[in-house]
Amino acid sequence: MKHKYSHGFTLVEVLVVVAIIGILATTVTFAVGPLVERRRAEAQVVSLFSQLRNVRAKAIALNRRLYVELQSSPDDIRLVDENDTVYPSVFTDPLDLFQYGDLPAGLAGFDGSEPIQGDWANHDRITFHHDGIGTITSGVVYLQNIQRPDEGFALVRTSERNTLSLYFWDGAQWLKRE
């Protein structure tokens, strides 16, 4: 009696495995895509937040008050001193995924207080004193994610500590980041 041993796979088996791998790859791509977008957006804002902290150190080193002027677009941020001398931009990372936006409606606020939305057309400033971090003129800068309009980040001056904090709005609640 002869036994026929087969070596390898049939064409049908290979096609089934390739189809399953294709379906899994497509599923993973659709599941991971929004996560990658969210992480990229978060990285841009965290970079801005870090650069704002560096401005405080620069104000102390120069022993003068510095202002971060928020122009009409988050991509257009200027650094000036009390004599309106414009410094080379320390804000090198683009914020191309964001626009200034209105705070989501019906919020309880940050740290138990109601935030105030700024008027960015009037070039509000974040003031950095050489003895510590100053104030945000209006209290809050809200950066709305262009690709995911229900999400955004807020730079908030906390009243009790007189420091900047970073919050993430996930569409339902505020989450503190740092």
Cα-based angle 138, 124, 38 (whole degrees, multiple of 5): 80
Positions of the chain with pLDDT lower than 70, given as ranges: 1-6, 71-75, 103-124, 131-139, 157-163, 178
- pLDDT score recorded for residue 22: 94
Q: Which domains does the chain have, with CATH numbers?
A: 11-177 (3.55.40)
Length of the chain: 178
Could you give the CA distance from residue 111 to residue 130 in angstroms, rounded to a whole number? 26
CB atoms closer than 10 angstroms to residue 175: 10
CA gyration radius, the chain: 25
- pLDDT score recorded for residue 74: 67
Question: Which H/E stretch holds residue 126?
Answer: strand 125-129
| DSSP 8-state code for residue 136 | E
Could you give the CA distance from residue 157 to residue 151 in angstroms, rounded to a whole number? 20
Which of 104, 176, 109, 173 is closest to 142 using CA atoms?
A: 104
CB atoms closer than 10 angstroms to residue 41: 23
- pLDDT score recorded for residue 12: 93
- pLDDT score recorded for residue 1: 55
Helix runs in 10-100, H state only:
11-62
State pLDDT tens for residues 78-114: 888 888 888 887 777 777 778 777 766 544 455 544 4
- pLDDT score recorded for residue 67: 82
Task: Identify the bridge partners of residue 158 per DSSP, sorted by sequence position.
Answer: 163
